[in-house]
């Protein structure tokens, strides 16, 4: 009897625990479902109104519309500052009781969205005030170049066109003076941002920014290391070509080349050392029609989005381009200012890349998961299609050039793309590593850190004895912190998808000149494997399911290094 009891007791308590668990699980899941239903009822209509107001404002450009847009955006943001909502989500998350995959995913997405808005309001106000002050200083700054006041655009223009070393040097140095104006403010801002991050439980602001967007800082650093190793030698070779070209053009020796000789303020874009004029192919073309025909040929219909879009110049209208998913339910709009040239061809293909991603996300997913897996995954799709505008195979398939012309420009167009990519990738290394290190220790010698990274990754020479806050002349460091790396991750994924589609759908081993024109399987693959899952999968799981591998730098190197 006693024995039996002894045996039974542990069994009973096991059953009790299991029973308690499933009760708790049910209770938590029920509570979460209720919260989500309530959250959706508040956010869905408000987001739609806010996005429509933003859209209207960027087309009319009038103050009234902008005021309405700002007010709705503020209302939308303030939902996420709720302490009660966050406490509930935190309790559910920490219980670890939610096991249903789709519910758990929604919980993670909502928890993160709320967590990033749980900032102490005094600190938040302080941060915003500092950011506004710094931004004002950037806007008001003009470079004094031999007594002339030059805007950033003027400086860029001068650096691109002048061949006079003394003039180039004064323009570059004149622009860098903004560094002295804002550097102390930025260091103070970095410390406030770190304080915010630490109060939310993160090591520093850089770590927080990455982790809140589901990026493990160590994973991102490994990708940057991998890319550094893969691109270093090829870039060194190209850099030598650039130097030979520039030294010739400027009539100086290669070893006299200084940072002001590289045709832009940061050597973030490739100097134009090859001569391809892509504009001439687009001068008489209907860019809108080319875009529609192309996407339709790969099985992606954009006509519904075209009807909602605003594609041509108007007085007062925003002069740039963007894609916006108004309601996560099919109302996707694109703003452009089309002119018949290469740049707008690239932009239309890019923006409708974002468009098809948004449009084809599975409408049966819960509202909070009807978004791309990550901002850089939608950027990757946009970049992959944007690259088509300079791809001679694509140009031939679209009827812009014949096969003789294709052969004639193939080498040069590839060289241009390769030069652009490698130059940008080395610059992104500097930005990523600088920000990471700056947030880890804002009191270190940042001037020296910056130039050590520039020398190492961009391979340009630090002017002798230079000890100035040149890092602070890059506005993104102050105003768009810890985001720059996503541009490069987008390029890596664009190449990884290009490789997968070429090898497995087109079944070719030519990874440079694929247009996918007319291949509906391509649209089907992207829809099923990339677009439809939306944010229901963590981005690297989506990539692994779609390509058989996690995000890697290998295919970027395959496309642009060899």
Q: Give the footprint of Zn ion on this chain (CB under 5 A).
A: 382
Q: In whole angstroms, how close is the CB of 381 to Zn ion at the nearest point?
A: 9
**Minimum distance, C-beta of residue 335 to Zn ion, in the bound complex (Å):** 12
Query: Closer CB to Zn ion, residue 382 or residue 557?
Result: 382
323 or 478: CB nearest Zn ion: 323
User: To the nearest whole angstrom, how small is the minimum distance from the Cβ of residue 230 to Zn ion?
Assistant: 24
Q: How far is the CB of 383 from Zn ion (least distance, A)?
A: 7
Using DSSP bridges, classify how beta strands 332-335 and 322-325 pair: parallel, antiparallel or unpaired: antiparallel
In eight-state DSSP terms, residue 526 is I
Q: Cβ(134)–Cβ(182) under 8 Å?
A: yes
Give the pairing type, strands 143-145 and 148-150: antiparallel
Q: How far is the CB of 352 from Zn ion (least distance, A)?
A: 11
Nearer to Zn ion, 230 or 388 (CB): 388
Q: Is 117 exposed, middle or buried (0-12, 13-18, 19+ CB in 10 A)?
A: middle
Min dist CB 378 to Zn ion, Å, is 7
**How many residues are recorded in the chain?**
562
Q: How far apart are CA 330 and CA 441, in angstroms?
A: 45
Pairing of strands 143-145, 332-335: unpaired
- Using alpha carbons, select from 498, 439, 493 the residue that is nearest to residue 471: 439
| 325 bridge partner residues | 332
DSSP state of 505: I
Q: State which residue, 382 or 422, has the beta carbon closest to Zn ion.
A: 382
Considering the complex, what minimum distance in angstroms separates the CB of residue 353 from Zn ion?
8
Nearer to Zn ion, 361 or 382 (CB): 382
By beta-carbon proximity to Zn ion, the closer residue of 382 and 419 is: 382
Residue 44 or 269: the one with the smaller Cβ distance to Zn ion is: 269
DSSP-assigned states of every residue in 194-251 = HHHHHHTT-SSHHHHHHHHTT--HHHHHHHHHHHHHHHHHHHHHHHHHHHHHHHHHHT
Residue, CB closest to Zn ion: 382
Give the integer Cα–Cα distance in Å for 354 and 450. Answer: 34
């Amino acid at each position: 009897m006693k024995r039996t009891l002894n045996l039974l007791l542990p069994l009973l308590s096991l059953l009790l625990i299991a029973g308690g668990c499933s009760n708790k699980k049910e209770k938590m899941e029920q509570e979460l479902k209720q919260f989500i239903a309530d959250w959706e009822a508040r956010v869905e209509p408000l987001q739609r109104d806010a996005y429509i107001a933003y859209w209207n404002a960027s087309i009319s450009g009038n103050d009234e519309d902008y005021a309405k847009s700002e007010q709705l955006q503020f209302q939308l943001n303030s939902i996420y500052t709720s302490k009660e909502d966050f406490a509930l989500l935190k309790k559910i998350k920490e219980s670890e009781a939610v096991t249903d995959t789709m519910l758990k995913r929604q919980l993670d997405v909502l928890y993160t969205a709320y967590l990033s808005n749980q900032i102490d309001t005094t600190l938040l106000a302080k941060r915003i005030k500092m950011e506004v002050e710094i931004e004002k200083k950037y806007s008001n700054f003009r470079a004094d170049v031999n007594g002339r006041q030059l805007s950033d655009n003027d400086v860029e223009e001068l650096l691109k066109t002048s061949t006079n070393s003394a003039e180039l040097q004064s323009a570059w140095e004149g622009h860098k003076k903004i560094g002295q104006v804002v550097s102390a403010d930025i260091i103070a801002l970095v410390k406030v941002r770190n304080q915010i991050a630490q109060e939310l439980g993160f090591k520093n602001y850089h770590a927080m920014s990455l982790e809140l967007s589901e990026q493990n800082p160590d994973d991102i650093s490994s990708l940057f290391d991998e890319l550094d190793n893969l691109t270093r030698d090829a870039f060194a070779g190209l850099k030598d070509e650039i130097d030979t070209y520039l030294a010739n053009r400027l009539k100086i020796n290669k070893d006299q080349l200084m940072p002001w000789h590289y045709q832009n303020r940061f050597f973030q874009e490739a100097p134009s050392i090859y001569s391809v004029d892509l504009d001439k192919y687009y001068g008489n073309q209907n860019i809108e029609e080319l875009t529609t025909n192309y996407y339709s040929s790969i099985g992606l219909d954009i006509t519904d989005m075209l009807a909602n879009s605003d594609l041509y110049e108007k007085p007062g209208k925003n002069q740039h381009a963007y894609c916006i998913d108004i309601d996560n339910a099919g109302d996707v709009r694109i703003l452009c200012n089309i002119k018949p040239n290469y740049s707008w061809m690239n932009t239309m293909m890019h923006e409708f890349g974002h468009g098809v991603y948004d449009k084809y996300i599975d409408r049966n997913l819960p509202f909070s998961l009807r978004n791309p897996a990550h901002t850089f995954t939608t950027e990757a799709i946009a970049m992959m299609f944007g690259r088509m505008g300079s791809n001679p195979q694509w140009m031939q398939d679209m009827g812009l050039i014949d096969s003789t012309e294709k052969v004639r420009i193939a080498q040069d167009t590839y060289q241009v793309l390769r030069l652009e990519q490698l130059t940008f990738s080395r610059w992104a290394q500097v930005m990523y590593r600088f920000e990471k290190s700056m947030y880890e220790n804002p009191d270190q010698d940042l001037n020296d850190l910056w130039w050590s990274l520039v020398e190492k990754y961009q391979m340009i020479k630090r002017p002798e004895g230079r000890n100035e806050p040149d890092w602070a002349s890059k506005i993104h460091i102050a105003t768009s912190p810890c985001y720059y790396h996503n541009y490069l991750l987008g390029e890596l994924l664009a190449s990884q998808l290009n490789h997968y589609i070429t090898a497995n759908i087109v079944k070719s081993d030519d990874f440079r000149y694929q247009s996918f024109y007319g291949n509906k399987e391509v649209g089907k693959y992207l829809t099923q494997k990339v677009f439809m899952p939306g944010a229901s999968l963590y981005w690297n799981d989506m990539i692994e399911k779609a390509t058989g591998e996690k995000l890697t730098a290998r295919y970027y190197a395959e496309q642009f290094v060899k």
